[in-house]
Amino acid sequence: MEHAVGAPGWAIALQESGFAFVIRDSIWLYPAANLTHILGLALLVGSILILDLRLLGVGRWVAVDALARLTTPFSVLGICLMAVSGSLLFSADAAALSTNPTFQLKMAILAFALANAVLFRVLWQRRIAGWRDAVPGGARLQALLSGIGWLAVASCGRLIAYF
C-alpha cells in the first residue's frame, strides 16, 4: 500500500496495523462505519441546528430549556457515533488523511465547534430556563457560530474525497 508523502510515522503504523486491514478489507465493516458516521452526523448536526435556530429566534413559542433537554441526548449520541465510526474510517486510510488539508481543516473546525458547545454549556446552561423572547446576544452569537461550525465540519467531511 502506498503512503502519502510526508505522512507521520504513527499514521503509517496505524494504517498498516491488522486492525486497519480488517476494517479496510471487510465487505461489511467499512461500509457500516461509513453509514454509522452519516447517522451520527444527522443526529448531531440536526439536533444542534434545531437548538441553534431556536436561540436565533426561530420558534419562540418553544421553551429553550425544554428544547435543550430534548435535543442534547441526540447530540451526545451523534457525537459518540461519529467519534467511534470516524476513528474506524480514519484508521483505514490514516496516512493519506493525516496529510489531507481538507481533513486537517475539518479537525480544526471540529475542535472549535466542540469548544464552543462546551463553553455554551458552561456559560449559559443555568440561565436558559428564563429565555423566552430575549436570548442574550452572546448566546445568539455562539448559536450562529455553532451552526456555521457544524455545517462546515459536515461540508469538509464530504469534500475530503475531492481534495
pLDDT per residue as tens digits for the range 12-51: 999 999 999 999 999 999 999 999 999 999 999 999 999 9
Domain count, the chain: 1
Residue 84 corresponds to which amino acid? V
Contact criterion met (CB below 8 Å) for 152 and 111? no
Instruction: Give CA–CA dist 140/158, Å, rounded.
Output: 27
Residue 121 lies in a domain: yes
Residue 3 lies in a domain: no
Residue 147 lies in a domain: yes
Domain, as residue range, for 106: 9-162
Instruction: Give CA–CA dist 134/129, Å, rounded.
Output: 11
Residue 47 lies in a domain: yes
pTM assigned to the model: 0.91
Indicate whether 163 pLDDT > 90: no
Residue 84 lies in a domain: yes
Indicate whether 152 pLDDT > 70: yes
DSSP state of 27: S
